[in-house]
Amino acid sequence: MTNKTDFALPKGLTLGEEVTYEAHYNPLLLQGVPRALSRDAQGIDTANLPFSGVDTWTGYELSWLNAKGKPQVGILECQVPVTSPFLVESKSFKLYLNSFNQTRFASLAEVESTLGRDLSQCADHEVEVKVFLPSQFDAFDVVPLKGTNIDHLDIEVDSYTPDASLLKTLSHKVSETLTSDLLKSNCLITSQPDWASILIKYEGRALDQSALLRYLIGYRQHNEFHEQCVERIFCDLQQLPGMNKLTVLARYTRRGGLDINPFRSNFETPYTNRRTARQ
C-alpha cells in the first residue's frame, strides 16, 4: 500500500498525463508546484522557514543548435532557493529541456539567459543557472558522501511509511555526520521510485542510529516530491529533544537525464554540487 499525502495538487496541472515531446523551444512546458501545499500540511511556517537551502538540479541531457545549425551539448546546473514560492516539477523540466534540441541559439550566453529567465519565472524567484561545456565536464567527478554510513546496522523493519515516533535521541551530545544509501520514496504523480543517498549532519544529543535507519527506510512506499521528503525529514529531526544544528542533504539518482539534490540547513550554506556514484 502506498502512503498518500494529505494535500491536493492544484487544478490545471498536466502532471502525469500523456504528453507530446517537443523539439523546439517552448517555455510553457515548465510547470511549478506551490511549496505551500506540503508546507502547510506539515505545519511549516512559509513566512518563517526553519531552514535555508536550495534545490540543486543537474541536467545531463541538454543540447541545442548553434547559429549554423550544429548541435551543441552541455550539462546544466541550476539552484532553486527554498524561498521560491514554487518548486519546479521534474517531468515538465525534462520536457522543457527537450524543447531546446532543435532550436538555434546565437551563443552559450543566450542559452544560459534563456534558461535562467524561464526557470525563474516558473519558480517565481531568481534561479541561478550555469551550463558546463564538454571541456568542463571533469567538474562532475564522483565523490562519495562524507560521513558514517549506517546501512550496516542489523535491524528489523516492518513499516514502510514515515513515522517520526521511531526517532530517538540518546543522553550524550555529539557533532557528527551520518549517511545512508537506503532512502527511497515514490513520485507523487506517477508512483515511480525515487532513489537517493542522504546525509544528515548535526550537533546535539546523539541520534539512535538504528532508530534513524528504520525511520529513513519508512519512506520506501511514501508518495511525495523529493523536496517535500527532505523537508519532512529535516522537520522531524529538528523537533527531537536536544537537536541543535542540523543539515539534511539528499542526492537523488537521475531520471530522464535530471538529478535533484535538495539541501536544507539551519546553520550552514549549501555544499558544492558533487555527484555520487549512482548519479
Cα(262)–Cα(250) distance, integer angstroms = 6
> Where are the strands (E) in 39-144, listed by range?
52-65, 71-81, 86-88, 128-132
Cα(9)–Cα(12) distance, integer angstroms = 9
Active-site annotation holder among 78, 122, 187, 235: 187
**Amino acid letter for position 169:** T
Active-site annotation holder among 118, 194, 236, 259: 194
Angle at CA 147, nearest 5°, toward 182 and 57? Answer: 65
Cα(144)–Cα(260) distance, integer angstroms = 16
> Where are the strands (E) in 5-145, listed by range?
32-34, 52-65, 71-81, 86-88, 128-132
Which cell numbers in the block locate residue 215? 525511520
**DSSP 8-state code for residue 200:** E
Helix or strand holding residue 203 (H, E)? strand 193-207
CA neighbor of 262 nearest in space, from 118, 9, 84: 84
- Per DSSP bridges, beta strands 148-149 and 169-186 are parallel
Question: Catalytic annotation on 194?
Answer: yes
Identify the residue whose cell numbers are 535555508: 52
C-alpha atoms less than 13 angstroms from C-alpha of 95 in its C-beta half-sphere:
20
User: CA torsion sign, 204 to 205 to 210 to 212?
Assistant: negative
Which residues are annotated as catalytic?
Answer: 187, 194
